[in-house]
Amino acid sequence: MKRTLPISKRGLNFETIMWFFTRLSALAMYGFIIIGMIGALVMGARMNMNFADVMRWAFMSNSTHVQSTNIPDIAPWANAFWRLVASGFLLVASAHGVHGLVVIADDYLVKPLQRNVVRLLSIVMLVSIGLIGLYVIWTA
Cα separations (Å) of 65 from 36, 45, 53, 116? 12, 13, 7, 37
Cβ(83)–Cβ(136) under 8 Å?
no
Which chain residues interact with another protein by CB under 8 A?
4, 23, 26-27, 30, 51-52, 59, 64, 93-94, 97-98, 100-101, 104, 110-112, 125, 129, 132-133, 135-136, 140
Count how many residues are written for the chain. Answer: 140
Residue 106 to residue 37: CA distance in whole angstroms: 36
Angle CA(57)–CA(59)–CA(62) in degrees, nearest 5? 50
Minimum CB separation of residue 60 from another protein in Å reads 9
Q: Does residue 6 sit in helix, strand or coil? A: coil
Which of 38, 132 has the CB closer to another protein? 132
Residue nearer to another protein on the CB measure, 23 or 46: 23
Least Å distance, CB 75 to another protein, is 20
CB of 71 to another protein, least distance (A): 19
Residue type, position 41, single letter: L
43 or 96: whose CB is closer to another protein? Answer: 96
Q: Rank residues 34 and 42 by Cβ distance to another protein and give the closer one.
A: 34
